[in-house]
Amino acid sequence: MNYYAITLIIAICLLSPGCSRSPDLYAQYQLVPTVLHIEIARQAIKNINILLHAEGLPEYYLYDEEHNREGIALLWVGDKTISQTVADMMFVPRGCQCVIVQPRVLYSWVENYSTVGETNYADMDNLPHTLGYFLLHEYGHIHSGHPGRAISTLGDNTNRDETESKRLEQTADDFASNLVAKYQSKTGAFKTWMSAANIGLNISSLAFTLQGKRIIDNFGCSVLDAPCAFHDMGDTHYNLEYRILKAQCLISGGEACGMLSSYEQRRNSGGVFQKGALYRAE
């Protein structure tokens, strides 16, 4: 085969959609990209990549703007082909070094917590840091080799069961929290410290907000230390307040761990009516 024939074959291959290119992830997972709140994604990636780079780990990149590069792809998707539920807000699909995020669901979710306290989690000063923590959580799943998103199979929602799925979720939370804590403590390196400190402050604020929202929205269950306020809904995740309190303790220590200890005592107490007929903790 002569030189010109080889050159022609290479040229045809490079122009072919299926040659030397990875598959289109949007097509593979039947997703539709969106530019809604895209600046939040860019800022979150910029912030957490400072920490990932310092740790010597592959970084995130926005799949809309860069294809086929090394790292973890962030797919910023619309809601035309995927359910608009919190369960589908953000997840790692099986068999992919990527994270799928629905910004419309994310934005609605954080707005729900902006009604308590003074922090607006939906504005550009806060949302990139909230998103950043949860992207680090999803990164923890990939880094730890977890198989993909968890699907609940439990019929009785309120529980304190220790399941394999909850263990994996906690491992991913711990990855994110420990990374933030590590660089928040290194005050000599300003860029990494600032990136970590912003996430840490946001997590502390969110912990306070979740406590306030629980008391306002679920006052009866809260004052009775009842399962409906302190136990888990489903078998895949610990409840969000419990998770964020654990994260805050790992990141900040001190009084934050005291808040976690108090919460765990109430969670494990059996409640004010532990021997009564209103509910059973076990």
d(C-alpha 194, C-alpha 184), whole Å: 7
pLDDT confidence of 151, banded at 50, 70, 90? low
176 to 104, 139, 246: CA distances (angstroms): 23, 8, 11
pLDDT in tens, 203-260: 999 999 999 999 999 999 999 999 999 999 889 999 999 999 999 999 999 999 999 9
pLDDT in tens, 107-147: 988 888 776 666 676 677 889 999 999 999 999 999 999 97
* Residue position matching structure tokens 């629980």: 214
What is the pairing mode between strands 90-91 and 98-101? antiparallel
Give domain limits for the chain: 25-268
* Residue position matching structure tokens 């419990």: 242
Q: Are 29 and 100 in contact (CB under 8 A)?
A: yes
Number of H-type helices and E-type strands within the chain? 11, 6
Question: Which regions of the chain does DSSP assign to beta strands (E)?
Answer: 60-62, 72-76, 90-91, 98-101, 158-159, 232-233
d(C-alpha 244, C-alpha 223), whole Å: 20
